[in-house]
Structure 1
Amino acid sequence: MSNGQPHYIVFANEKGGTGKSTTAVHVAVALSMQGHTVAVLDLDPRQRTVTRYLENREETCRRRDIALPTPVYAVHDDDNLASLEQRIETLARDADYIVVDTPGRDDRFAKYMATRANTLVTPMNDSFVDFDLIGQVDPESFKVRKLSFYSELIWEARKTRAKSDGVTIDWVLLRNRLQHIEARNMRRVGDALLELSKRVGFRVIPGLSERVVYRELFPSGLTLLDKGQLGELGVSHIAARQELREMVSGLSLPLGLELRAEQGAV
Structure 2
Amino acid sequence: MAHIIVVGNEKGGAGKSTVSMHVATALARMGYRVGGLDLDLRQRTFGSYVEKRKSFCEKAGLELPSPFYHPLPDIDPATVQEGENIYDLRLSAAVAELEPQTDFILIDCPGSHTRLSQVAHSLADTLITPLNDSFVDFDLLAHVDDNGEKILGPSVYSEMVWNARQLRAQAGLKPIDWIVVRNRLGAQNMVNKEKMGKALDRLAKRIGFRTAPGFNERVIFRELFPRGLTLLDLKDIGVKQLNISNVAARQELRDLIKALDLPDVKVDF
Q: TM-score, normalised by structure 1?
A: 0.92
Residue 233 (structure 2) pairs with residue 220 (structure 1): no
Query: Could you say what secondary structure the match of 2:55 adopts?
Result: helix
Letter of the 2:3 partner, please give it: H
1:106-164 Cα shifts (integer Å, max 9, x gaps): 11111110011000010000111101011011113621111112112212322331342
Q: Of 239, 242, 247, which aligns to 2:251?
A: 242
Aligned to 1:252: 261
Cα distance in 1 for residues equivalent to 2:164 and 2:11: 20
Q: Is the 8 A contact 1:30 1:259 kept in 2?
A: no
Aligned to 2:111: 104
Q: 1:141 to 1:99 in 2, by over 3 A?
A: closer
Query: Could you say what secondary structure the match of 2:171 adopts?
Result: helix
Q: Is the 8 A contact 1:7 1:97 kept in 2?
A: yes
Residue 43 (structure 2) pairs with residue 43 (structure 1): no
Letter of the 1:237 partner, please give it: N
Letter of the 1:233 partner, please give it: L
Q: Is the 8 A contact 2:73 2:90 kept in 1?
A: no
Residue 159 (structure 2) pairs with residue 114 (structure 1): no
Cα distance in 2 for residues equivalent to 1:140 and 1:41: 39
Query: Could you say what secondary structure the match of 1:140 adopts?
Result: coil
Cα distance in 2 for residues equivalent to 1:225 and 1:237: 10
Cα distance in 2 for residues equivalent to 1:219 and 1:152: 36
Q: Is the 8 A contact 2:34 2:102 kept in 1?
A: yes
Q: Of 43, 56, 60, which aligns to 1:60?
A: 56
Aligned to 1:132: 139
Q: Is the 8 A contact 1:127 1:189 kept in 2?
A: yes
Query: Could you say what secondary structure the match of 1:93 adopts?
Result: helix
Percent identity (aligned):
45
Runs of 4+ in structure 1 off by over 2 angstroms are: 75-80
Aligned to 2:178: 171
Aligned to 1:11: 7
Larger deviation, residues 61-70 vs 168-177: 61-70
Letter of the 1:256 partner, please give it: V
Query: Could you say what secondary structure the match of 2:237 adopts?
Result: coil
Give the aligned length. 256
Q: Is the 8 A contact 1:21 1:101 kept in 2?
A: yes
Q: Is the 8 A contact 2:184 2:217 kept in 1?
A: yes
Q: TM-score, normalised by structure 2?
A: 0.91
Letter of the 2:23 partner, please give it: V
Q: Of 237, 243, 249, which aligns to 1:229?
A: 237
1:217-264 Cα shifts (integer Å, max 9, x gaps): 01111110113325242211111111111111111111223133xxxx
Q: Is the 8 A contact 2:148 2:199 kept in 1?
A: no
Where in structure 2 are there 5+ consecutive unaligned residues? 75-85
Aligned to 2:187: 180
Q: Is the 8 A contact 2:128 2:181 kept in 1?
A: yes
